[in-house]
């Protein structure tokens, strides 16, 4: 089949007295944000090219149709389709969600406490059918404090422009005008007369908080707060004790908060602490104290507290620890529960507030590599009961009703694998490998016990490494489809995340960004050295900023890889960084740098940006997936990357680009859509591994 060719329209670009040629810059339309909302505005020539690439991909994966179907059924067969969440007791009702065998979206249910009659207040599949839309993204789903109103926000394109709706639960009728172009979050006032929401500006950045009185015109909505910096975005939430609303404004690295009392007739947000670059803080309130989770004078965070925000006198409550990330707090009347992360592993601690504040770690399994979790059982915090949960790479999620006082625990929910699963069939290992500078990088390995460790096995190496996002070693039933076929799954906890605290993030961003790539390559070489796999048998995988990682490492060390799978990849990172009108660019200056205004940043980004560093050489097999309505990583990045890579690569390996024409950053909406995308990725991995039977 003929290889798709994108027309070249050479443009000479320049910045800081450096010039470079870009043959495909014309793909990026000046009205790109309009295109995300209305795909009919896409340049026809670009649409034709994307459709040609889709046809080309379909042609080269036609021999995987059967395995895709088999994988789909396998993955779906491991999901308990007809399932219910654990209930949460509010004041008058118990609330929970369920999924069904036929449905793709969740159903929200409730019943009066002490009664038996169940009421369905939201059904995603019925809502989608009513709207007759292909894409159906639910942003928020909130019930008012008097249990009368349901607030929900919908994105019907995938471009993350959410419309808010409020309806009366008993009549099922809308009680106020719909509110368009929001970030999706809905916060009800305690008197149930208002909602607070954040509005998107022309660059798709939420920088304003409005108050809307239910039943009144949207044009009369009251501006409560406006962020002046284009780099910061805002949100609003309620304190744990429901006494204050907190407005948070931040980029990825600096934050600032304002507060006002819940009963203020005319909300007047008051500043808590003035922003300082690189200082993150988050304040909430409980039992006459304000608690501040911050990295000020505490690189890996600490928690301070004070009695009065108008006259702040902070005292240390939870001290900082070196390379241990101190997490947030959960309060009950008699208990405080907190989390921390070290060496890519989470822990939970409890403190008895009535017994000299003595603290102890919660240990409820013998497994070492786990992801623990906690959630409340009810709104009334005068209780000793919580839900404790954990999963591991080989053990499905388990939730216990746990009595903090007696330490009794009762298994109340276990993630069921209908097609069967034996955790003893799998081996989980946590190893560390030295990076180029001697820093030890944690890696989590999950493999079938029958898989040989002699260099003969294929291995999927997953990585992300940006924004301080840590990769947790959680259970994934989907991965078993590869692991059961002797493909070892490895997650590299590389710098750029916070698996080893804030320092781990700082060492993988800005002018340290290349550490992220070096850590990943070091992990690949270490796994080869230890005979988990061999050179040319590794499949790299990452999405979004993890796609930046994939693009950088495949340019740097293509010989290590059999294939690369990159989803919505951030591969034209220099071009995006230079364009300050795009939704995310300005807010990411402290993550990647500001190439336009800083030559050192420009030179550094230019030296690793995947699109700018494609070389004339052999590349491994590559599958790239993107979405036409994605506003986080525009579809033109992988489009340009694919076209240029076709010009330069000197091999005959597969290079496939698949564009979802009705989806956003997260891909298709709905359960089946998500499974189809995973099945495609895995089928590609099995094809290049010569396993498509």
All domains in the chain, ordered by first residue:
11-76+420-688 (3.40.50.1820)
Give the CA distances from residue 437 to residues 440, 519, 541, 557, in Å, rounded to whole numbers and listed in that order: 9, 9, 24, 18
Tell me how many degrees the CA angle 149-152-153 measures, rounded to the nearest 5: 155
The yes-or-no verdict on residue 356 having pLDDT over 80 is no
Return the pLDDT at 631.
Answer: 85
Q: What is the DSSP letter of 25?
A: G
Are residues 245 and 237 in contact, defined by beta-carbon separation less than 8 angstroms? Answer: yes
pLDDT in tens, 84-114: 999 999 999 999 999 999 999 999 999 999 9
Our CA dihedral for 238, 241, 243, 244, rounded to 10 degrees, sits at -30
Residue 68's H or E segment, with its range, is helix 65-77
Please list the residues that pair with 614 across neighbouring strands: none
Of 351-360, 487-496, 546-555, minimum mean pLDDT range: 351-360
Residue 373's H or E segment, with its range, is strand 371-376
Please list the residues that pair with 359 across neighbouring strands: 351
Query: Residue 294 and residue 255: Cα distance in Å, rounded?
Result: 10
pLDDT in tens, 22-47: 999 999 999 998 998 899 999 999 99
Q: Is 442 helix (H, G, I), strand (E, B) or coil?
A: strand
The yes-or-no verdict on residue 57 having pLDDT over 60 is yes
Q: 482: closest CA among 447, 527, 452? A: 447
Return the pLDDT at 584.
Answer: 87
Residues in the chain, how many?
693
Give the CA distances from residue 80 to residues 110, 336, 481, 504, 670, in Å, rounded to whole numbers and listed in that order: 21, 34, 16, 37, 15
Q: 666: closest CA among 632, 641, 640? A: 632
- CA contacts within 13 A on the Cβ side of 667: 20
Q: Is 559 helix (H, G, I), strand (E, B) or coil?
A: helix
The yes-or-no verdict on residue 693 having pLDDT over 70 is no
Over residues 115-124, mean pLDDT? 97
Count the neighbouring beta carbons within 10 Å of the beta carbon of residue 141: 16
Query: Residue 205 and residue 221: Cα distance in Å, rounded?
Result: 19
The yes-or-no verdict on residue 686 having pLDDT over 70 is yes
Tell me how many degrees the CA angle 345-351-357 measures, rounded to the nearest 5: 135
Q: 20: closest CA among 568, 642, 609, 550? A: 609
Return the pLDDT at 293.
Answer: 97
Of 190-204, 452-466, 480-494, 658-672, minimum mean pLDDT range: 658-672
Are residues 267 and 245 in contact, defined by beta-carbon separation less than 8 angstroms? Answer: yes
Strand 409-414 relative to strand 440-448, pairing = unpaired
Tell me how many degrees the CA angle 507-471-554 measures, rounded to the nearest 5: 70
Query: Residue 281 and residue 542: Cα distance in Å, rounded?
Result: 30
Q: What is the mean pLDDT of the chain?
A: 96
Q: What is the DSSP letter of 188?
A: E
Q: 197: closest CA among 214, 213, 181, 210? A: 210
Dihedral sign for Cα 614, 616, 619, 623, please.
Answer: positive
pLDDT in tens, 162-189: 999 999 999 999 999 999 999 999 999 9
Q: 611: closest CA among 586, 577, 653? A: 577
The pLDDT > 90 percentage for the chain reads: 94
Place of tokens 């694919």: 642
Give the CA distances from residue 471 to residues 4, 367, 463, 497, 499, in Å, rounded to whole numbers and listed in that order: 36, 18, 8, 7, 7
Return the pLDDT at 86.
Answer: 97
pLDDT in tens, 587-603: 999 999 999 999 999 99
Query: Residue 597 and residue 603: Cα distance in Å, rounded?
Result: 11
Strand 440-448 relative to strand 458-462, pairing = unpaired
Confidence of residue 332 (pLDDT cuts 50, 70, 90): very high
The yes-or-no verdict on residue 451 having pLDDT over 70 is yes
pLDDT in tens, 195-211: 999 999 999 999 999 99
Return the pLDDT at 651.
Answer: 98
């Amino acid at each position: 089949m003929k290889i798709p060719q994108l027309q070249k329209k050479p443009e000479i670009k320049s910045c800081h007295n450096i010039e470079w040629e870009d043959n495909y810059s014309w793909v990026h339309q000046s009205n790109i944000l309009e295109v995300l909302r209305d795909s009919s505005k896409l340049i026809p020539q670009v649409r034709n090219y994307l459709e040609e690439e889709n046809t080309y991909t379909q042609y080269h994966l036609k021999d995987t149709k059967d395995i895709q179907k088999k994988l789909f059924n396998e993955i779906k067969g491991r999901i308990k389709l007809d399932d219910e969440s654990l209930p949460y007791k509010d004041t008058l009702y118990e609330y929970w969600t369920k999924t069904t065998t036929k449905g793709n979206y969740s159903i929200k249910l409730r019943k009066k406490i002490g009664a038996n009659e169940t009421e369905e207040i939201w059904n995603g599949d019925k809502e989608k059918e009513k709207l007759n839309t292909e894409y159906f993204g639910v942003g928020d789903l909130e019930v008012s404090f008097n249990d009368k109103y349901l607030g929900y926000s919908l994105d019907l394109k995938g471009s993350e422009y959410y419309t808010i709706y409020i309806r009366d639960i008993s009549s099922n009728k809308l009680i106020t005008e719909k509110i368009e172009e929001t970030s999706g979050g809905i916060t009800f006032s305690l008197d149930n007369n208002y909602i607070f929401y954040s509005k998107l500006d022309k660059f798709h950045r939420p920088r304003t908080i409005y108050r809307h009185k239910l039943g009144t015109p949207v044009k009369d909505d009251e501006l409560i707060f406006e962020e002046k910096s284009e780099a910061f975005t805002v949100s609003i939430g309620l304190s744990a004790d429901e006494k204050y609303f907190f407005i948070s404004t931040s980029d990825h690295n600096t934050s600032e908060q304002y507060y006002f009392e819940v009963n203020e007739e005319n909300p007047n947000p008051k500043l808590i602490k003035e922003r300082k670059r690189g200082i993150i803080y988050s304040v909430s309130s409980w039992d006459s104290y304000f608690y501040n989770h911050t990295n000020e004078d505490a690189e890996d965070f600490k928690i301070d507290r004070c009695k009065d925000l108008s006259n702040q006198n902070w005292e240390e409550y939870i001290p900082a620890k070196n390379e241990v990330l101190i997490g947030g707090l959960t309060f009950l009347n008699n208990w405080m529960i907190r989390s921390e992360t070290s060496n890519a592993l989470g822990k939970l601690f409890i403190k008895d507030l009535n017994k000299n504040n003595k603290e102890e770690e919660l240990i409820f399994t013998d497994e070492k590599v786990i992801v623990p979790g906690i959630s409340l059982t009810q709104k009334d915090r005068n209780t000793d009961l919580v839900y404790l949960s954990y999963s591991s790479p080989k053990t499905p999620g388990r939730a216990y009703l746990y009595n903090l006082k007696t330490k009794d625990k009762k298994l109340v929910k276990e993630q069921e694998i209908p097609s069967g699963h034996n955790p003893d069939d799998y081996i989980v290992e946590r190893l560390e490998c030295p990076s180029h500078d001697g820093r030890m990088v944690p890696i989590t390995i999950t493999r079938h016990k029958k898989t040989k460790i002699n260099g003969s096995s294929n291995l999927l190496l997953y990585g992300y490494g940006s924004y301080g996002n840590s990769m947790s070693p959680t259970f994934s039933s989907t991965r078993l489809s590869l692991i059961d076929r002797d493909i070892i799954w490895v997650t590299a906890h590389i710098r750029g995340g916070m698996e080893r605290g804030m320092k781990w993030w700082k060492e993988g961003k800005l002018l340290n960004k290349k550490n992220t790539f070096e850590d990943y390559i070091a992990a690949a070489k270490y796994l080869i050295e230890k005979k988990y796999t061999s050179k040319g048998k590794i499949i790299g995988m990452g999405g979004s900023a993890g796609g930046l990682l994939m693009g950088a490492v495949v340019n740097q060390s293509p010989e290590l890889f059999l294939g690369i799978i990159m989803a919505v990849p951030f591969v034209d990172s220099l071009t995006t960084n230079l364009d300050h009108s795009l939704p995310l660019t300005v807010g990411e200056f402290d993550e990647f740098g500001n190439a336009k205004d800083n030559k050192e940043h420009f030179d550094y980004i230019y030296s690793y940006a995947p699109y700018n560093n494609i070389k004339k050489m052999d590349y491994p097999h590559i599958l790239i997936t993107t979405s036409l309505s994605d506003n986080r990583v525009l579809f033109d990045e992988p489009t340009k990357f694919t076209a240029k890579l076709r010009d330069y690569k000197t091999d005959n390996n597969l290079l496939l680009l698949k564009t979802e024409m009705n989806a956003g950053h997260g891909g298709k909406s709905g359960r089946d859509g998500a499974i189809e995308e995973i099945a495609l990725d895995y089928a590609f991995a099995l094809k290049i591994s010569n396993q498509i039977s």
